[in-house]
Amino acid sequence: MQMPDSSYDFCAPSRIVFGWGRRVEAGRLARSLGRRAFIVCGSRTLEQNGRLDEILQTFEEAGVDAVCTPTCTREPLVDDVDRLVTLLREARAGTGDLLVGIGGGSAIDLAKAAAALITQESRASVVEYLEGVGSGLKIETMPLPVLALPTTGGTGSEATRNAVISSFDPPFKISLRSELMVPRIVLVDPELSVSVPPNVTAWTGMDAITQLLESYVTPRATSATQDLAWSGLGLAVPNLVEAFNNLSSRPAREALAQAALLSGMALANSGLGMAHGVAAALGVHCSVPHGLACAVMLPTAVRINRHHSGVEAKLARAGWAMLHPQVATLDPSEVPRERDELREYDGLATVDRVDRVLWRIETLLVELNIPRRLSKIGVLREQIPAIVRDSRGNSMSGNPRALTDDELTHILEEMW
């Protein structure tokens, strides 16, 4: 039996509030963080269906002054972050203020980035703080507190220590990262995700599944992060198709929201892998939505990693969570961890179990109407060299198997 890690760090939100309809508590929670809240919303649907007004009403009732910033429905660009920071400076944001990110990962990342930059001594652009492209500036002063209200049930940004920022000239998609950037309070109301359309439900759900699986097999994983990822897989995989087909399914939406939250905590403390590394480059060069890119890359990532040292045994145990619907009711410690114990449990050899993991991922893509070829999601063959070049970020560094540029080029050529 695998022993718990004897030493590790773990970073997570200070407080998590989870439950159907609990958005009514948003104002009270914000009041515990400050008196003036800058609202960063990433969903015009929430504005149109009245949900945002409901949330803002709770702020008024709690005595919190809500200041709405311009809605940003795309993944945040350098200019978006700098523009929001300028707005905060003009409003003299500081002690007693907070930022509220409402929407998918893009809105929450934008709120996290602006909250971090506004308190730093330097007034430099966010680009100077980004990994690998800036001048090496660090987030050293405590950011303004962030209240995160995720609405998509997929990205897990509400529980991570980074914000993903993009640029098209020059092209990059890179993180602003600091342990200080984890949202202070996370309010997860799965009912807010009911208005998310089927394609976004599918893509964000596959983003969560990819995060859970990659954070499970990365060499940086600990027993703590693996238990979180294992539990998340047992929630997400059996429920994603139901949410896709029945957008208002409360059990499915609750399961996906919980899985997304667990995926954020897992990846924040372990890392990711090849699927996410390539997905970032696909977003920059081909404008492929992040969750869709992850979904298309996931089967290939599993195939190229499965025979690397120790990965197949990890995939076999993760497969138990993915293939057994009742797994969500179990404690991870109740499930066999080692390959011999797994085989004794249900007679499946490790290689067969991993084959079934791949089969389940492939069938998910079919059921969710997600293509499996890069050419089907708008990627041009001549873009592959640039995609390979710009896949070398923090996510790729967590992949179990190190890949040369030539190997990655061959993989993407075969996927095209």
Assess whether pLDDT exceeds 80 at residue 100.
Answer: yes
Q: Write down the pLDDT at residue 132.
A: 83
Q: Both tokens of residue 81?
A: 């972050």
More confident residue, 167 or 344: 167
Q: Write down the pLDDT at residue 341.
A: 46
Whether 98 and 144 have beta carbons less than 8 Å apart is answered as yes
pLDDT tens for each residue of 371-399 = 999 999 999 999 999 999 999 888 999 99
Whether 380 and 416 have beta carbons less than 8 Å apart is answered as no
Q: Write down the pLDDT at residue 344.
A: 44
SS3 330: coil
% the chain with pLDDT above 90: 77
Query: Class assignment of domain 15-190?
Result: alpha beta
Burial 330-339 (b: 16+ CB within 10 A, else e): eebeebbbeb
Q: Indicate the range of 67-81, 165-179, 291-305, 343-357 predicted with least confidence.
A: 343-357
Query: Class assignment of domain 197-415?
Result: mainly alpha
Whether 278 and 412 have beta carbons less than 8 Å apart is answered as yes
Q: Write down the pLDDT at residue 72.
A: 83
Assess whether pLDDT exceeds 90 at residue 33.
Answer: yes
More confident residue, 72 or 405: 405
Assess whether pLDDT exceeds 70 at residue 342.
Answer: no
- Nearest-angstrom CA–CA distance, 37 and 331: 39
pLDDT tens for each residue of 217-271 = 999 999 999 999 999 999 999 999 999 999 999 999 999 999 999 999 999 999 9
% the chain with pLDDT above 70: 93
Question: In sequence order, which residues have a C-beta less than 8 Å from that of residue 355 and are 6 or more positions away?
Answer: none
pTM of the model: 0.92
Question: In sequence order, which residues have a C-beta less than 8 Å from that of residue 6 and are 6 or more positions away?
Answer: none
Q: Write down the pLDDT at residue 319.
A: 84
Q: Indicate the range of 64-68, 182-186, 308-312 predicted with least confidence.
A: 308-312
Assess whether pLDDT exceeds 80 at residue 11.
Answer: yes
Alpha-carbon distances of 65 from 34, 113, 217, 272, 380, rounded to whole Å = 9, 21, 45, 38, 48
Domain boundaries, the chain: 15-190, 197-415
- Which of 22-26, 305-309, 335-339 ranks highest by mean pLDDT? 22-26
Assess whether pLDDT exceeds 60 at residue 340.
Answer: no
Q: Write down the pLDDT at residue 2.
A: 55
- Nearest-angstrom CA–CA distance, 239 and 257: 11
Q: Both tokens of residue 29?
A: 């929670």
The sign of the dihedral angle between the CA atoms of 223, 266, 275, 78 is negative
Burial 280-319 (b: 16+ CB within 10 A, else e): bbbbbbbebbbbbbbbbbbbbbbebbbeeeebbbbbbbbb
- Nearest-angstrom CA–CA distance, 123 and 90: 13
First and final CA of the chain: distance in angstroms?
41
Average pLDDT over residues 123-147: 93
Assess whether pLDDT exceeds 60 at residue 347.
Answer: no
**Band of residue 158 on the pLDDT scale cut at 50, 70, 90:** very high
**Band of residue 321 on the pLDDT scale cut at 50, 70, 90:** confident
